[in-house]
């Protein structure tokens, strides 16, 4: 005959196992919102309905780029201000792969919003 304590222990172990497995599925979904490959959004956007971006002054981000910082052996120094700064060149973009993930300053990336970053300008500028 099975003892009540054995039944209780067995049920407790099964319950704990189910809770642990459900937690893995929940948190795994949050850590990788985008897919494994990058692409543009799957929706067709109507350019006539997109409002032009309006620049606005914001306080410097607490979680932004600190100075100096080093990436792959190269050290970067962040400017105190972007006043008078001009640069022309190519830009990169992120799509579905990074949509919903945390950026370096702790904000969630949204591929439908205007966002930008620079290696030596303070965030935001």
Q: Which pLDDT tens digit goes with each residue over 7-65?
A: 778 888 787 777 777 665 554 444 455 567 888 888 887 878 877 777 777 777 777 77
Tell me, what's the pLDDT at 31? Answer: 44
Question: Rounded to an integer, what is the distance from CA 3 to the centroid of its chain?
Answer: 51
Contact (CB, 8 A) for 120 and 79:
yes
Is the model's pTM score more than 0.85?
A: no
97 CB contacts (<8 Å, ≥6 apart)?
Answer: 34, 35, 36, 37, 38, 39
Alpha helices by DSSP H, listed for the chain, are 4-31
How far is it, in rounded angstroms, from Cα 118 to Cα 120?
6
Provide, rounded to the nearest whole percent, the portion of the chain with pLDDT above 90. Answer: 6
Tell me, what's the pLDDT at 72? Answer: 92
How far is it, in rounded angstroms, from Cα 80 to Cα 68?
12
Q: Which token pair is 82? A: 């972007």
H or E stretch covering 76: strand 74-76
Using alpha carbons, select from 47, 50, 33 the residue that is nearest to residue 94.
33
Tell me, what's the pLDDT at 121? Answer: 83
């Amino acid at each position: 005959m099975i003892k009540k304590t054995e039944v209780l222990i067995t049920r407790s172990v099964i319950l704990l196992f189910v809770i642990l497995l459900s937690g893995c599925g929940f948190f795994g979904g949050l850590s990788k919102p985008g897919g494994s490959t990058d692409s543009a959004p799957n929706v067709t956007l109507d350019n006539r309905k997109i409002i032009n971006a309006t620049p606005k002054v914001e306080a410097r981000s607490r979680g932004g780029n600190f100075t100096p910082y080093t990436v792959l052996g190269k050290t970067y120094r962040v400017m105190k201000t972007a006043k008078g700064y001009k640069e022309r060149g190519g830009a990169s973009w992120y799509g579905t792969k990074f949509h919903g993930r945390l950026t370096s300053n702790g904000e969630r990336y949204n591929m439908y919003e205007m966002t930008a970053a620079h290696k030596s300008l303070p965030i935001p500028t």
